[in-house]
Structure 1
């Protein structure tokens, strides 16, 4: 498996990302993650809509919480866009979080089982077995239109650029 260093830091410390770095124009690889009810969820389950995939290390941290809340608000405005948040959190923690925060416009998904999304999209942090922070936007045909691997994991992604990429596809 490909290992990438010098791309991302966490609290200023370099970390290693596993998997191939995706680039605009790439065809999105498939993945299998887990829904809150423990059933599998694949790229094809997002349908033939424009897709925004918000990637967070752990839903229980401040920036991840704000990122998920932000995209949940945006999802209410973007009716024909499939928006999901993927983390390594257990499905039970995601269910608890969504209930407590009224997350009802996007789906939270867990990559804890086999890190399929993390390795296929190049977001898996080798040292921590968490996902690095980022955003992926796919068109209706699953071509990568926008991808951000946030350089410092504790920073926010560029919400405006990600949403601009989505709106250009609508």
Structure 2
């Protein structure tokens, strides 16, 4: 099955299926800000918010990082993973300039198969090959609790819906 998003009403197909509620998150290995390979295993025992976005150089992406940083401070035992195609250096500069100390950025510069495995890879448009804007929440055991594919890339996700599943 193929999902879709859009950029200013221009439809963009997103490959494969997003994980279903209750499904275990698939394995991934991406690159952190120190250029080290990091896998899902590194976050075992913590609740996870996976924030996929195409690139930091858009208002919606930048605002999402700021918003999630603020919200994340209120969530015990929860890690927020910002996942994009941005190079680790780019994200480090952004987080430093914005005084975002809780940023955990994982780059798809290695491990791009993760985008397909998680069903977030944009297949069409000039943005093909980048992740769609998706907010995913998983519990301490990597069970998916919430998934949102944002239907318009220039919009931010529904933070309240994502956080609601963590407050049950």
TM normalised by structure 1 equals 0.91
What is the SS of the residue equivalent to 1:146?
Answer: strand
What is the SS of the residue equivalent to 1:118?
Answer: helix
1:9 paired to 2:6: yes
Aligned-CA RMSD value: 1.4
Contact 1:146 1:165 in 2 (8 A): yes
Contact 2:95 2:103 in 1 (8 A): no
Post-superposition shift, 1:112?
Answer: 2.5
Task: Determine the structure 1 residue equivalent to 2:104.
Answer: 107
Q: How is 1:1-170 mapped onto 2 (pairs within 5 angstroms)?
A: 4-5=2-3, 7-127=4-124, 128-168=128-168
The 3 A distance-change label for structure 1 pair 95 and 152 is same
- Unpaired stretches in structure 1, ≥5 consecutive residues: none
The 3 A distance-change label for structure 1 pair 116 and 102 is farther
In structure 2, C-alpha distance between the alignment counterparts of 1:76 and 1:21, rounded to whole Å? 27
Contact 1:75 1:106 in 2 (8 A): no
Contact 1:18 1:124 in 2 (8 A): yes
TM normalised by structure 2 equals 0.92
Contact 2:30 2:106 in 1 (8 A): yes
In structure 2, C-alpha distance between the alignment counterparts of 1:47 and 1:166, rounded to whole Å? 16
Cα deviation digits, residues 50-109 of structure 1 (max 9, x gap): 111111111121000000100111111113111111111111111111111111123111
- Unpaired stretches in structure 2, ≥5 consecutive residues: none
In structure 2, C-alpha distance between the alignment counterparts of 1:60 and 1:69, rounded to whole Å? 13
Runs of 4+ in 1 over 4 A off after TM superposition: none
